[in-house]
Amino acid sequence: MSSKGISETAIAKELNAPNSFFKLDYETIVERIEALEQINEELNDSNLGLLMSNVVNYVKNLEILHENDYVLDDKEKEANKSCLTVSPFVRDDIEILKNYLIDLTRKNGKYALNIFWKDPQTLVREVDDLIESNLENIIATNPETLGYSISRLIRRVRYCEANGQPITDTTGQFAYANYILDERAFVKEFGARIDLPEIPDRSEINAQLPEIIGNQDFVQILVNSLDEYYNGTTNYRDIELSLESNSIFERLISIFEEKFQAKVIGKYTYQIGDIYISKNKLERNLKAILDGMEKAHVPVDGNENEIVLTTMLYNTIQDPEAISKVVQECLGFNQEDTVGGKSLWCI
C-alpha cells in the first residue's frame, strides 16, 4: 500500500487499531480503493480511515445523482458524505421526487440531500401527509424540511391553527414562519411544555374505512390490496395499466372530480369538503387497485363509489369525523320527504 501513498508507519498503526480495515476481506478493501480512485480521491495517511466506510456505496450514490442532473460541488459532497455513504435509498427516493416533480434546490442554491436518509415508504407517505395537510407549498419553498420529522412539523402547524397563531411569515420575507420550520424556534416562541395535537394513526383510519364507507366486505378487500401493495414495493414507479383498465381509471377519476366535486387547489392537491387529497396518492392507489382487480378478474361495475372513496382515503391522517362527513357527502346522503328519510344516489 505504500505505493498508494500510505507510509509504513500508518500501516503499522492501522494493524494495531481495534477497528482496523485490515479485518475486512481482501476483495472489499480492493473495491473501496478502486471506488476512491473513481472520484480522484488519493489514498494517503490522513484519509486512510475512508476504507472503513462504504465508499463503494458513496461513489455509487454520486453516480446516481449525476445521472439525474444533480451537480454537487466539493463542499456539498463533503457535507453529505455520511448520508451518501450509508443510504441505500437514493435511487428509489429520486424516483419519488420525479413523480412529484420535487426540486431539492434550497434558497441558497444547494441541494437538500438530507432527504436521502429516509426510506421510500416513509418519504412517499410524508410527502402525501404534507399535501393532505394543505402544506404543499412547503415542499417548494423549503425542500429541506422533507429530511426532518414531518409529523412534528404538521403537529406544530395544527397547534398554531388551533390557537390562532399564523403559520406564514408575517414579515413577508419567507413563505412560512420560522417556528413552523424549526422546532427549536417553536420552543423559543411558545415554550417547551406545549402539548402538540396528536395526529390520527393512518393504520387505524385504514381499519375504519370499511365501516365508514360501507359495503364492508368489498372495501376490506380493497384495503387489504393496498396494504399488500405498499408493503411489497419500494420504488413507487408509475403502474402501467392495460388499455381496458386505463379506460376505467379515467372514468373513475371523472367520478372523483365531477360527481364528488373534487376541486384542484394546488399542484398536487385536491379538496373535497374539509379534507385535502394528494393527487399522486389518489392516482397511485387507484392504479394499484385496478391492476389487482383485473388480475383477479373482479368486476368494477357497481363498485365505483367504494373504489374511489377507498383510494382517496387510504393512508390519510385526517380527522375521522371530517372523513365520515365527506363520505356521506360524496355518497349523496340527503334528507328527503319520503319514508326512510335519507336516500343514496348510485353511480
- The answer to whether residue 84 sits within a structural domain is no
Place of cell 389487482: 292
Q: What is the pLDDT of residues 215-240, one digit of tens each?
A: 999 999 999 999 999 998 888 888 99
Local structure of 166: helix, strand or coil: coil
- The answer to whether residue 72 sits within a structural domain is no
Q: How far apart are CA 319 and CA 233, in angstroms?
A: 27
* pLDDT given at position 59: 87
* pLDDT given at position 306: 96
Q: How far apart are CA 25 and CA 47, in angstroms?
A: 19
Number of domains into which the chain is organized: 1
CB atoms within 10 A of CB 13: 13
Q: How far apart are CA 255 and CA 232, in angstroms?
A: 29
Q: What is the pLDDT of residues 174-193, one digit of tens each?
A: 789 999 999 999 999 999 88
The stretches in the chain having pLDDT less than 70 are 1-54, 333-347
Termini Cα distance of the chain: 74
By C-alpha distance, which of 277, 271, 272, 303 is closest to 290? 303
- The angle at the Cα of 158, spanning 194 to 130, to the nearest 5 degrees, equals 125
- The answer to whether residue 280 sits within a structural domain is yes
**Range of 217's domain?**
202-343
Q: What share of the chain is helix, strand, coil (3-state, %, to 5)?
A: 60, 5, 35
- The answer to whether residue 180 sits within a structural domain is no
- The angle at the Cα of 309, spanning 314 to 343, to the nearest 5 degrees, equals 145
- The answer to whether residue 206 sits within a structural domain is yes
* pLDDT given at position 81: 87
Local structure of 269: helix, strand or coil: strand
pTM for the structure as a whole:
0.82
Identity of the amino acid at 329: E
Classify residue 297 as left (phi > 0), alpha (psi -120 to 50) or beta.
Answer: left
The conformation of residue 21, written as its DSSP 8-state character, comes to G
- The answer to whether residue 281 sits within a structural domain is yes
Q: How far apart are CA 28 and CA 5, in angstroms?
A: 19
The conformation of residue 340, written as its DSSP 8-state character, comes to T
With contact defined as beta carbons under 8 Å apart, do 343 and 336 qualify? yes
* pLDDT given at position 8: 60
Query: Cell numbers at residue 56, please?
Result: 463503494
- The angle at the Cα of 318, spanning 144 to 95, to the nearest 5 degrees, equals 40
- The answer to whether residue 209 sits within a structural domain is yes
By C-alpha distance, which of 155, 64, 149, 79 is closest to 111? 79
- The answer to whether residue 93 sits within a structural domain is no
CA dist list (Å): 114 to 8, 86, 93 = 38, 12, 11
With contact defined as beta carbons under 8 Å apart, do 173 and 179 qualify? no
* pLDDT given at position 309: 97
With contact defined as beta carbons under 8 Å apart, do 227 and 206 qualify? yes
The strand pairing partners of 342, in sequence order, are: 335
By C-alpha distance, which of 237, 205, 234 is closest to 309? 205
With contact defined as beta carbons under 8 Å apart, do 74 and 40 qualify? no
Q: How far apart are CA 104 and CA 97, in angstroms?
A: 9
